[in-house]
Amino acid sequence: MDFLRVSWDDVSHMCGRLASEMSPSGFTPDVIIGISRGGLVPARLLSDILDVHELYVMRISLYTGIGKKAAEPRITQPLTANLGGKKALLVDDVSDTGKSLAAAKKHVLEMGAGEVKVATLHFKPHSSFRPDFFVGETGAWIIYPWEIHECERELGEKMPK
C-alpha cells in the first residue's frame, strides 16, 4: 500500500486553494458542514477563509480501520439543523470510495438545503463520487496530520516516514 503524508502546512494551503477554486464558480455557501472526523479541520479552516460562521457537524462511518471498510456507510451523528433552503458546503478530507459523500449529500438535502456542493482536500480516481471542489488527486492511503497517532497504532512498525 502506498502512503501520502500531508503536513499541517499542506492542509492550510489546500484549504486556501479550495476557497480560491470556489470563487470563479459563483458558489458562496451560507453554511458549512464538516463530516466527522476527517472533515472537521478543513471545514473549520474554510469557515474562517470564506467568512462563513454557520458551521455544523455530521458523522458518517464507513472505514473500520486502515484499508478496512464496512459494506455501506452509516450516519452515526445526523445533522440537527433545518437548513431551510440554504446553500451548503459539505466538507471532508478525501473522496475515497465516494459512498460516504453520496450518503452525506443526500442527508444534507433531506435536511432542507436548497443547494449542496462538496469540497474535499483529495480525490481518489477510483471514487464513485467526484466532489465539486478538490485540490489533490492520489491513489495512495493519505495520512493527515490529525490522524498520525491513529495510524501509528494501526500500522505499528509499518508506519511510513
| Domain assignment of residue 29, given as a range | 10-136
Q: Give 83-130 pLDDT, tens digit per residue.
A: 999 999 999 999 999 999 999 999 999 999 999 999 999 999 999 999
Q: How far apart are CA 101 and CA 131, in angstroms?
A: 8
Residue 146 domain-assigned?
no
21/31 Cα distance (integer angstroms)? 17
Residue type, 65: G
Which three three-digit cell numbers place residue 50? 470564506
Number of domains in the chain: 1
The answer to whether residue 161 is domain-embedded is: no
Query: Does residue 99 contact residue 128 with C-beta atoms inside 8 Å?
Result: yes
- For the chain, the straight-line distance linking the first and the last C-alpha, in angstroms and rounded, comes to 14
Residue 39 included in any domain: yes
Nearest to 41 by CA among 128, 136, 135, 119: 119
42 pLDDT band (50/70/90 cuts)?
very high
Residue 123's pLDDT is: 98
Q: What is the pLDDT of residues 119-141, one digit of tens each?
A: 999 999 999 999 999 999 999 99
Has residue 158 been placed in a domain? no
Residue 14 within a domain: yes
CATH code of the domain covering residue 100: 3.40.50.2020
